[in-house]
């Protein structure tokens, strides 16, 4: 039962253009969302997060948008750079006793073309 879904397994974008990664979730109790970046054979690294009390969070070239009514969030990378080529995971957690648990999507592989 996958509660966090990344329906696009891959994305190819030209260097300098915008990358838009999408993530949908089914559990309305989720209230904290994170994006992670992962290179092959390495552990994921934290990129950016957003709380459900906000609809946007920005950090440099990375912006995350949250649409609670649609249970949808997206990550925008502007401008895309070759070093952004990696797998990006969306993750979510919820309030309560079990808020040590993160649910992850399957990931989107981004390839930035020169």
Partner 1 sequence: DGGITQSPKYLFRKEGQNVTLSCEQNLNHDAMYWYRQDPGQGLRLIYYSQIVNDFQKGDIAEGYSVSREKKESFPLTVTSAQKNPTAFYLCASSRGRFASGNTIYFGEGSWLTVV
The contact set with partner 1 (CB under 8 A) reads 2, 4, 6, 9, 31-32, 34, 36, 41-46, 49, 51, 89, 91, 93-95, 99-107
Cβ closest to partner 1, residue 17 vs residue 101? 101
Burial of 111 (0-12, 13-18, 19+ CB in 10 A): middle
Cβ closest to partner 1, residue 79 vs residue 103? 103
Cβ closest to partner 1, residue 48 vs residue 79? 48
Write b or e for each residue in 51-79: b if 16 or more Cβ atoms lie within 10 A of its Cβ, otherwise e: ebeeeebeeeebbbbbeeeebebbbbbee
The residues near 35 (Cβ < 8 Å, ≥ 6 apart) are: 21, 47, 48, 49, 62, 64, 75, 88, 89, 90, 91
How near is the Cβ of 18 to partner 1 at its closest, in Å? 24
How near is the Cβ of 95 to partner 1 at its closest, in Å? 5
Cβ closest to partner 1, residue 41 vs residue 114? 41
How near is the Cβ of 9 to partner 1 at its closest, in Å? 7
How near is the Cβ of 71 to partner 1 at its closest, in Å? 17
């Amino acid at each position: 039962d996958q509660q966090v879904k990344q329906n696009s397994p891959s994305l190819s974008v030209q260097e300098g253009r915008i990358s838009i990664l999408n993530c949908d979730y089914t559990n309305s109790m989720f209230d904290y969302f994170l994006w992670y970046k992962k290179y092959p054979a390495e552990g994921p690294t934290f990129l950016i997060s957003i709380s459900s009390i906000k609809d946007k969070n920005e950090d440099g070239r990375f912006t995350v948008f949250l649409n609670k009514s649609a249970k949808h969030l997206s990550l925008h990378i502007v401008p895309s750079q070759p070093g952004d080529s990696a797998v990006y995971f969306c993750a979510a957690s919820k309030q309560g006793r079990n808020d040590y648990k993160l649910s992850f999507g399957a990931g989107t592989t981004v390839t930035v073309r020169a």
